[in-house]
Amino acid sequence: MTIDEFSNKIVDYCKEHNLRKVYICGNGGAGKTTLSKKLYEIGSKYGKSNIISLDDFMADTEMRKNATNTWYEDGIEHSYRYTSSNKETYFLKHVYEVLYNLDNGNDYYYFPRRYETKNNIRKLYKDYFLTVIEGIGTAFLDRNQDESISIFITCSKEDEQVRRAERLETHKERDKIELYDENRSSQFRVNVLPKASEFDIIVRSSSNYQIEVI
C-alpha cells in the first residue's frame, strides 16, 4: 500500500482506540521522517498534532566523533564512534520531560538540533490530537501501550545507501558521516534491530516508499 494509505489506517486506528501517540523507529533511510510527516499532516485534520524527532535530543556530533564505542557482533569485536544506534547518544530524560509536560497541561518549546536562527523554536501543543515520536532513539524509550501505537519500519541496504546519499545531496549542510557505513549498520543490528519485536507493527518500505506489513 502507499504511505498515504498506511498513514490513514494508522490515524483511523488511533481515533478508534483513543491512542494519542505514535512511536516510529527503523534503520536510516527507511522512511521514518516521511511517515511521521504524513501522520502529522493527517492528524492535523482532526486537531493539533506534534512531531518529536529523537535526532533533536542527540549528543553533539563532534562529541560523538571523539568517543569510541566497543561492541560485539557474531563474536567479533568492533570499535567505532557512537552513532544514533546507541542509547548513550541520547538525552532520554529530556524526551521524558517533554512528554511529561505535554501530558500534564503545559505547551513545550525547544530548539531543534538543526536550528538556523534564535527564532527557530519548535512549539509542541499540550492539547494535541496526535503526537508522533520518531527516530532510531525511540527504540530506547519506555512506551505506554495504553496510549500509543509503535511502528518499526525497515528498508533494504541498497535503498538505505541511496537515500542517505540523496539526503546529503539535498541538504549540503549535513555531515558526510551520515552516509552509509558498515560500522553504523552493525551497531543498528546489535543494539536496535533486536528491539523490533517490541513494536506493535513492523513494516518494510520499498524504493518508492510502498509499505508492506511484515
- pLDDT score for 105: 96
Q: Residues in the chain with pLDDT < 70?
A: 114-118, 167-180
Domains recognised in the chain with CATH numbers = 3-213 (3.40.50.300)
Q: How far apart are CA 121 and CA 119, in angstroms?
A: 6
Nearest C-alpha neighbor of 179 from the set 167, 191, 192, 193 = 167
pLDDT at 200: 97
pLDDT of residue 7: 97
Q: Are 200 and 151 in contact (CB under 8 A)?
A: yes
pLDDT for position 178? 62
Sheet with strand 49-53: strands edge to edge: 49-53, 130-134, 21-26, 148-154, 201-205, 211-213
